[in-house]
Amino acid sequence: MTITPEKPLVQIEGLHKYYGHHHVLRGIDLTVNQGEVSVVIGPSGSGKSTMLRCVNLLETISAGRISVGGELIGYREVKGRLHDLKTKEIAAQRREIGMVFQRFNLFPHKTAMQNIMEAPIQVKGQSKAVARKRALELLDRVGLGDRAGHYPSQLSGGQQQRVAIARALAMDPELMLFDEPTSALDPELVGDVLNVMKDLAKSGMTMIVVTHEIGFAREVGDRLTFMDGGVVVESGDPREVLANPQHPRTKEFLSRVL
């Protein structure tokens, strides 16, 4: 993929996160350019999911700043002081950011179609007809056009995750966050989800993907970031980092997962 002028969409600067006295993120810096696929790997407990959840404010930010599309996330800066945004303003910021969860989190009382139509109707105020048409397009795009009337409990994990991706896309976000999207899936179902994500990457979507799928990182990633102990240990071109890791902790991690 070619990215003409390097235009940063996401900028994370000096991000820290505490849970009580537990210092989970210890100063993360990460820039994701428009149209870029940024893959984040690392051992569990390294803080990569927490970092991702900070980007759409599912976690509060203890220190540092995150901006998406030039807009500061979660705060308003007035005379050099940060003020918390109201929940409504936070909701508005989240509309531009789609998120896919490890455990899908589809709404179990709604069909696949209704899951996708929910936010466009309720948040964007789209008409039912428009939302339905778009939902069908998206279901086709993730290969589930024939599953519109199925409830999540009637779908396999892989199918549920693809519906979840379609649901996030229905809001036309400018950024998609993937939080270990294939970790809860049976091995034979992982491929379908990864294929949908590859198509999405090809279409030019900006993506931050926290994953254990090294193959996906190598094939689709524009940048690979290795996190451990709440810091970025190493970051660079995925193929270079994977072939020739510089830091001993990266080497050790890769030797265990490859």
Partner 1 sequence: MDSHQDAHAAPVLNNAVPVRHPGRWISAVIIVGVLLAFLQSLFTNPNFRWDVVGTYILDTKVVQGVMWTLFLTFASMVLAIVLAILLAFMRQSDNPVFRWSSWTWVWFFRGTPVYTQLLFWGLATVLYPTVVLGIPFGPAAITWVTSDPTHGLIPAILGLGLNESAYLAEIFRAGLKSVDQGQSEAAEALGMTKGKIMRRIILPQAMRVIVPPTGNETIGMLKTTSLVLAVPFTLDLTFATNALANRIYLPIPLLIVAAFWYLLVTSLLMVGQHFIEAHYGKGVDNRVPAAVNPAAAKAAAAPSAEAEPDLKMDFPEEEAK
184 near partner 1, judged by CB under 8 A: no
x/- letters, 118..137, toward partner 1 (CB under 8 A): xx--xx--------------
Q: Tell which one of 16, 27, 151, 219 touches partner 1 (CB under 8 A).
A: 151
Q: Tell which one of 150, 198, 212, 251 touches partner 1 (CB under 8 A).
A: 150
> Strands, DSSP E only, in the chain?
8-19, 22-33, 37-41, 63-68, 71-72, 75-78, 81-84, 97-100, 175-179, 206-210, 223-228, 231-236
Which part of the chain contacts partner 1 (CB under 8 A), choosing from 39-47, 111-119, 126-134, 213-221?
111-119
* Closer by beta carbon to partner 1, 122 or else 246: 122
Amino acid type, 223: R
How far apart are CB 87 and partner 1 at their closest, in Å?
Answer: 6
Q: Which of 119, 61, 117 is nearest to 91 (CA)?
A: 119
The helix-helix angle for 157-169 and 187-202 (nearest 10°) equals: 20
105 near partner 1, judged by CB under 8 A: yes
Considering only residues 194 to 253 of the shown chain, the ones binding partner 1 according to CB under 8 A are none
60 near partner 1, judged by CB under 8 A: no
Residues 107 and 119: their CA atoms lie apart, in Å, by 12
* Residue 246 and residue 234 in contact, taking contact as beta carbons nearer than 8 Å: yes
Residues 69 and 147: their CA atoms lie apart, in Å, by 35
Which part of the chain contacts partner 1 (CB under 8 A), choosing from 2-10, 64-72, 117-125, 223-231?
117-125
Helices (H), 177-223: 187-202, 214-220
56 near partner 1, judged by CB under 8 A: yes
Report the Cα–Cα distance between both ends of the chain, in Å, rounded.
25
Which part of the chain contacts partner 1 (CB under 8 A), choosing from 27-35, 72-80, 95-103, 198-206?
95-103
Binding site for partner 1 (CB under 8 A): 56, 58, 87-88, 91-95, 97-99, 101, 103, 105-111, 118-119, 122-123, 145-156, 158, 164, 167-168, 171, 189, 192
